[in-house]
Structure 1
Amino acid sequence: MRHAFPGGTPALDFPGTLRFRHRPEPREDLDSPADLSIWFREAGITEADIPVGTADLRRALALREAVYPLILAAMADREYDPDALALVNHHAAGPTPVPRLTPTGRRVDATVDQALAHVARDVVAALSGPDVVLFKECGNPECSQVFIDRSRGARREWCAMDPCGNKIKAAAYRARKRAGTHGITGRSR
């Protein structure tokens, strides 16, 4: 897979396509129309790549950038930005992809508008549902991925072990080593 899906729902994974938002230079995972088509397929919204144009990509990025502040507002129990809310609701009002049963199995084809409607409806469901209290931002200070923490005791710290959890654990190990502490017991070797 080309794209990562650590959020637990397209509503959180779609904004995560702009990675490391806290860095001066975030990483864009949707650099081209083809990247967006691949994301729709890998997210399970469509079963095959769909034709995506440059204007479609611009509309998708506008939706993505409207969704992210809505997620942060929901996490902080703040009011939603009315323009961001209007854009999400505009996309959510459109038709979504329709699954079909074929002689060879299930098939889902979609237009870009249908795929964006699917994402927007997922945003509506996620932000109005019971899981909002489980939303967390990754504990890696450089990462901005929001995820649903369904772990026992809500103790999950990272969006994913690779790369964020591994990076933080390795840094903690190196810090302990520099301080002369090795392992959990604190004994030096």
Structure 2
Amino acid sequence: MRHVFPCGTPALDFVGTLQARRAPAPIERLTTPGLLDSWFVESGLLSREPGSGQADLRAATALREAIYALVGARLAGRPLPAVAVAAVNRQAASVPVTMCLGATGTSRYGTAGQAPADLARATVEMVAGAEADLLRECGHPDCTHVYLDRSRGRRREWCALRTCGNRAKAAALRARRRG
């Protein structure tokens, strides 16, 4: 499967694996342990699939929701929820993925429990650091991706121009033609 990575950091892309969060039926992109494995590899967190099980999938999606709660609190200017802080801190304290340098570059090896530790560490740095001011939610009404706005003028509106930006521009064009 091909996953999407429009958000600027694996932690936010991981949050985006539950799409259209405000819709009556959000779209879950990690429905099986195999999809979690493929996400780990496609995101670059691991070089090969770790062989996740159902418990790994439950733990990973729980971490995803904790990350989303922290990011949502930062976006809204609210205090960080203690339960989410504890969940992310617990995962960040786990054993990290092992990186190895080889003749063809680097490789990243670990278990399905180690890859989320890297996501949790990145979340701690992002939410508590200077990048927290760069957090934005996609401007498309049906999208709930959160991204880091690293654009020059800090005026990026969409998670990805080729998807949400294109849809918004096409809708604006149709509205102008009707009007």
In 1, the alpha carbon distance for the partners of 2:104 and 2:27 equals 39
Equivalence for 1:77: 77
Equivalence for 2:139: 139
Q: What amino acid maps onto 1:50 in structure 2?
A: P
Displacement after TM superposition at 1:105 (Å)? 4.1
For the aligned residue pairs, the C-alpha RMSD in angstroms reads 1.2
Deviation track 1:13-48 (CA, whole Å, cap 9, x = no partner) reads: 111110111211111111110111111111111111
2:148 matched to 1:148? Answer: yes
2:120 matched to 1:128? Answer: no
TM-score normalized by the length of structure 2: 0.95
Q: 1:178 to 1:38 in 2, by over 3 A?
A: same
In 1, the alpha carbon distance for the partners of 2:103 and 2:164 equals 43
Q: What amino acid maps onto 1:124 in structure 2?
A: V
Displacement after TM superposition at 1:78 (Å)? 1.2
Displacement after TM superposition at 1:50 (Å)? 1.4
For residues 1-189 of structure 1, the aligned pairs below 5 Å read: 2-179=2-179
Q: What amino acid maps onto 1:132 in structure 2?
A: A
Equivalence for 1:187: none
Larger Rg: 1
Q: In 2, are the aligned partners of 1:11 and 1:126 still within 8 Å (CA)?
A: no
Aligned pairs, how many? 179
Q: Which segments of structure 1 move beyond 3 Å, counting only runs of 4 or more? A: 102-105
In 1, the alpha carbon distance for the partners of 2:105 and 2:2 equals 25
In 2, the alpha carbon distance for the partners of 1:172 and 1:106 equals 45
Displacement after TM superposition at 1:6 (Å)? 1.2
Q: 1:159 to 1:105 in 2, by over 3 A?
A: closer
Displacement after TM superposition at 1:103 (Å)? 4.8
Q: What amino acid maps onto 1:175 in structure 2?
A: A
Displacement after TM superposition at 1:122 (Å)? 0.7
In 1, the alpha carbon distance for the partners of 2:139 and 2:105 equals 41
Q: In 2, are the aligned partners of 1:14 and 1:64 still within 8 Å (CA)?
A: yes
Provide structure 2 residue ranges, at least 5 long, that are not aligned to the other structure.
Answer: none
Provide structure 1 residue ranges, at least 5 long, that are not aligned to the other structure.
Answer: 180-189
Displacement after TM superposition at 1:166 (Å)? 0.9
Equivalence for 1:185: none
